[in-house]
A and B are shown apart, each in its own frame.
Chain A
Amino acid sequence: MSVKEKDVANWQPKILGFACNWCSYAGADVCGVSRFQHPSTMRVVRVPCSGRVNPHFVLRAFQRGIDGVLVGG
C-alpha cells in the first residue's frame, strides 16, 4: 500500500505518557493552566513516581501499537 504524501505530512505519533503525580503531572497541569497548546495525541497515565513505571508497561504499550512512550519524573 502506498502512503500518500499528505498523510505523511499530517501524521502525528500517538504517545503514551507516564507522569509522576508530584512533578511532571503537576507540570502538565501548569501547561493546562497557562493554556499552552500542543498536539492532542498524548494520553497521560498518572503514577505516584516515575519509579513506579515497570518496563513491562512500556513494552505492553508498544505491543498495543503506540508510537512513542514518554516517562516523566
Chain B
Amino acid sequence: MKRIGVFLCWCGSNIGGVVDVPKVAEITRTFPGVAFVQENKYTCSEPGQAAMVQAIKEHKIDAVVVASCSPRMHLPTFQKAVQTAGLNPYMVEMANLREHCSWVHSAEPENATQKAVELVRKAVAKVAKLEPLFESYIPVTKRALVIGGGIAGIQTALDIADSGHQVVIVEKEATIGGRMAQLDKTFPTLDCGA
C-alpha cells in the first residue's frame, strides 16, 4: 500500500477563514493509506513547498494530496515540487478547497468543513490508485506560420525571424499591412501609418 501524504492549505484566511482546517486534518488522518498530514499557511509559497519536500523525504511518502486551490492554478507547481523530492510528478492530486468550497460556501462554515473533508477523501481515494507516468519526446519543426499580415502579424514575424527561425506569413489580401496601412497618422504620436 502507498504511503499517502496530505498537505492542507490555509491559503492565509481564504480557506482557513471558513473551513476548520485542523478538524479536516484530524479526520484525514483516519483515511486508509494516509501516512502523514500537514497544515500550511501558504503551501504554494517557497517555505510551503520546502516543507512539503522535506516531509516527503522524511516520511517516505510516495503519493501526495494537496488540498488547496484549483488544480488549474497550481497543479504544475506541486508537480514540480514533488519531483524535487524524488517522486514521479504524476503522483500528486489536488482537492479544490478554495474555488469549489471556502469561497462559495463562506456563509456556512460547518457545511464547508464537511465538504472539505469529502473533497480530501475523494482525492485520497484517487491518489491511492495513481501510477507513475512518463513523458515521451517529439521533435519540433522550427518554422512558424503567421496567419494575417497586419501590424501584429508583421511584428510577430519579424521578432521570430530576427531570432533566426523561418517564418511564413499567409495574408489573404494582395498586400500586407492590414488596417494600419489604411490609417493616415496614428495616435498618440501622429506619425504615419505605413
Contact = CB atoms under 8 A, between A and B. Distances in A.
Contact of A44 (B73, B96, B106, B111): B96
Chain A interface, >50% SS class: mixed
Contacts of A46: 71
B99 A40 contact: no
Band of interface residues on B? 20 to 34
Interface residues of A, number: 18
A33 B69 CA distance: 11
B111 A40 contact: yes
Interface stretch (B22-30, B113-121, B169-177): B113-121
A23 to B, nearest CB: 11
Contacts of B96: 29, 44
Interface of B: 70-73, 96, 98-101, 103-108, 111-112, 114-115, 118-119, 122
Q: Which 5 A-B pairs have the closest CB atoms?
A: A32-B99, A40-B111, A32-B103, A40-B105, A29-B99
